[in-house]
Amino acid sequence: EDGSAGWLRYAPLPYASSYSSIPSSIIALNNTKSSPVYTAQQELHRGIQGILGKTLSNGTSTSKDGTIIVGTAHAYQKSYGDFDEAGDIEEDGYFLSIEGRQVLILGQNERGALYGAFDYLSRLAQGQLDTVSYVSNPHAPIRWTNEWDNLDGSIERGYAGPSIFFENGFVTENTTRVAEYARLLASIRINGIIVNNVNANATLLSARNIDGLGRLADAMRPYGVQLGISLNFASPQTFGGLSTFDPLDPTVDAWWANITNQIYARVPDMAGYLVKANSEGQPGPLTFNRTLAEGANMFARAAKPHGGIIMFRAFVYDNHINETNWKADRANAAVEFFRDLDGKFDDNVVVQIKYGPIDFQVREPASPLFSTLRNTSTAIELQVTQEYLGQQTHLVYLAPLWKEILEFDLKADNRSSKVKDIVSGERFRRPLGGSAGVVNNLYAYGLLAWDPSLDAEEILQDWIRLTFGHDPKVLETITDMSMKSWPTYENYTGNLGVQTLTDILYTHFGPNPATLDNNGWGQWTRADKFSIGMDRTVKNGTANAGQYPPAVANVYENIETTPDNLLLWFHHVIYTHQLKSGKTVIQHFYDSHYEGAATAQTLVKQWESLKSNIDSERYEHVLFRQTFQAGHALVWRDSINQFYHNLSEIEDQAKRVGNHPYRIEAEKMTLSGYKTYRVDPFHAASGATAIV
């Protein structure tokens, strides 16, 4: 068990032999290799063999010993006649019916049939064989991942090894792992994948790489996963040799149309393009005084004849903003850039919005841009890879964070306007919408993209049973660890909406609050000796609160009604400001850092209690990370507490700061082959000392 099978292990079900009502054959309504229905049939064989130890035959007609029929609803109707639910199945959706030994898995399209097969296998693997009959439809049409893979094989903000798509400047030759990955994606109903970094390299458009993209698409097509790519806005000039990349220049337009035709000739079902423009040094239309919409529409025109979609990112901001201007606020940027462009994007453009106004922090309010764009299709961008949240060395189960954003009601025009219903297209009646996840850790992301009303704990428990088996102790323990993991991480990193407090200059890992202010990146805390927090009120601050519809704006404008967990996001207060809990801000900082770090220690104990219940390879792998997290949580606790203690000179009422309970300083140990050195800034290591 090296974990590579993820949740698709198809481990033998306890007491499998006692199940009598298992079908004996499978009829696939399309036997063309590389069709998702064929894949579904293969998957059903593999899954039932693994889970129940039973080999099924390929049937052509139904048998009284039980048959699974898998295919599109349309193909089924042609051979077997109508069925009641046929009209209820929407694009990518499916009908699943289990009645004794007779099973129907019918998709609106082939991809839907494959999703239904995975759903059926997930039920079997969890021992659910009861009679059911239901239609499952997606909440939104776009359910994509964004890979941030570079052509040299590295991955921006990737923490799990090198790229499976690229190496040495080119698309990889061997696509075995690409197909394995597509299988995982299909099992959670992801239908599109952007394979390269948003900070895109134009040489992806070379003839050799276009052919390589075809290879990737061929490997993923049997799983119904459509390929898309990120583009570099300046490509016509830097790669194509033109003198300009002005989106309104006809030669530039023609260049994009031509290259798009070449790509579609090799990948006829390509999903579309993703574009990061005029942000963090990337080129874009603003360079030529053209609007972002004019830039996006240039790609839209090129892709339109092929049915392609343009995901245009709202992550546009100036990373040289000047902190001395008190009204400057990076959180305002997206609305400021996009507000006047609403309705000016072509119909096949979707504006892709990060969930909060800044950048994947441990706690942010929902982006106000979701309620600003009413005549533009939008999608939510989530970060599954834990860039600011521990980088795969800290346990942080993210579904509760995503749920909080998706369920947030922006109350546009005083009507219910949940983020999930805006990005599905429903609230503002848009034809497109959905979600994009910058990935790593997938299962809950895919299921919430399909159905955001699912409960975070139930998704987690399905994942645990599929990944670690049916032992109730394993289920209970991992559920408990995961459900408290986000609040725990928030406790020992940045509280009260002040942001994660990681190093901001590049790594985004480890405590370094001193780097957050006095720089152009705009992720400011505005902490000084007396006070902390960004004043984002309309009355005295940067007016960010005013970007929300009035019913929400009033809540954030007023310090009394702002929830404690976003207090420092919207308000600048003295350290002794009293929270609704009765504590002062600074005492809350101290206490929650102790509480969070203490909980991180117990996670190790909880995991150790599962030693005899989990295979040793995965047990040791996770234990290593939990142990690291426990240690790093203490570093976080002491660094942050010392930093604010030093800045505010306000005593911890419990007199703990600097005492480091249960911490053994490395420099106090017997060092063999290590030397101590002074750390700058001092608070990044306790006692300002580290070893090397």
| Interacting residues with ligand BDP (CB under 6 A) | 156-157, 198-199, 276, 315, 359-360, 387, 508
- Cβ 165 to ligand BDP, closest distance in Å? 17
Catalytic one among 359, 421, 490, 638?
Answer: 359
Other CB atoms within 10 Å distance of the CB of residue 84: 8
Shortest Cβ contact with ligand BDP: which residue?
359
Other CB atoms within 10 Å distance of the CB of residue 631: 18
Structure tokens at 211: 């052919």
Catalytic one among 269, 280, 455, 457?
Answer: 280
Nearest to 280 by CA among 200, 163, 398, 342: 200
Shorter beta-carbon distance to ligand BDP: residue 280 or 340: 280
Structure tokens at 601: 């220690």
Q: What is the C-alpha to C-alpha distance for residues 589 and 594, in angstroms, rounded to an integer? A: 9
Shorter beta-carbon distance to ligand BDP: residue 157 or 374: 157
List beta partners, residue 438.
Answer: 146, 383
- Cβ 528 to ligand BDP, closest distance in Å? 26
Shorter beta-carbon distance to ligand BDP: residue 156 or 667: 156
Catalytic one among 246, 387, 462, 490?
Answer: 387
Could you tell me if 158 and 149 are in contact, meaning their C-beta atoms sit under 8 angstroms apart? yes
- Cβ 381 to ligand BDP, closest distance in Å? 8
Q: What is the C-alpha to C-alpha distance for residues 236 and 249, in angstroms, rounded to an integer? A: 11
- Cβ 197 to ligand BDP, closest distance in Å? 7
The answer to whether the Cα torsion of 229, 232, 238, 244 is positive or negative is positive
DSSP state of 654: T
For helices 176-187 and 110-125, give the axis angle rounded to 10 degrees: 80
Within its chain, how far is the Cα of 624 from the centroid? 24
Q: Which residue has the tokens 């150790």?
A: 608
Could you tell me if 569 and 533 are in contact, meaning their C-beta atoms sit under 8 angstroms apart? yes
Shorter beta-carbon distance to ligand BDP: residue 477 or 502: 502
Could you tell me if 9 and 50 are in contact, meaning their C-beta atoms sit under 8 angstroms apart? yes
Ramachandran angles phi, psi of 167, nearest 5°: -155, 145
Shorter beta-carbon distance to ligand BDP: residue 360 or 575: 360
- Cβ 287 to ligand BDP, closest distance in Å? 18
Let me know if 387 is a catalytic residue: yes
- Cβ 620 to ligand BDP, closest distance in Å? 31
- Cβ 366 to ligand BDP, closest distance in Å? 17
Annotate 213-244 with DSSP letters as a single string: HHHHHHHHGGGTPEEEEEE-TTHHHHTT--S-
Let me know if 329 is a catalytic residue: no
Within its chain, how far is the Cα of 282 from the centroid? 22
Structure tokens at 678: 């002074």
Shorter beta-carbon distance to ligand BDP: residue 276 or 330: 276
- Cβ 361 to ligand BDP, closest distance in Å? 10
Nearest to 123 by CA among 96, 149, 145: 96
- Cβ 559 to ligand BDP, closest distance in Å? 29
Ramachandran angles phi, psi of 377, nearest 5°: -75, 140
Peptide bond preceding 283 in cis form (omega within 30 of 0): no
Shorter beta-carbon distance to ligand BDP: residue 25 or 352: 352
Let me know if 608 is a catalytic residue: no
Q: Residues of 565-584 as b/e, b for ≥16 C-beta within 10 angstroms?
A: bbbbbbbbbebebeeeeebb
Shorter beta-carbon distance to ligand BDP: residue 113 or 314: 314
The total number of residues written for the chain in this structure: 692
Shorter beta-carbon distance to ligand BDP: residue 122 or 282: 282
> How many secondary structure helices (H) and strands (E) does the chain include?
20, 20
- Mapped onto helix, strand or coil, the DSSP state of residue 95 is strand
Q: Which residue has the tokens 């839209």?
A: 300
Which alpha helices (DSSP H) does 304-368 contain, by range?
333-338
Active site members? 280, 359, 387
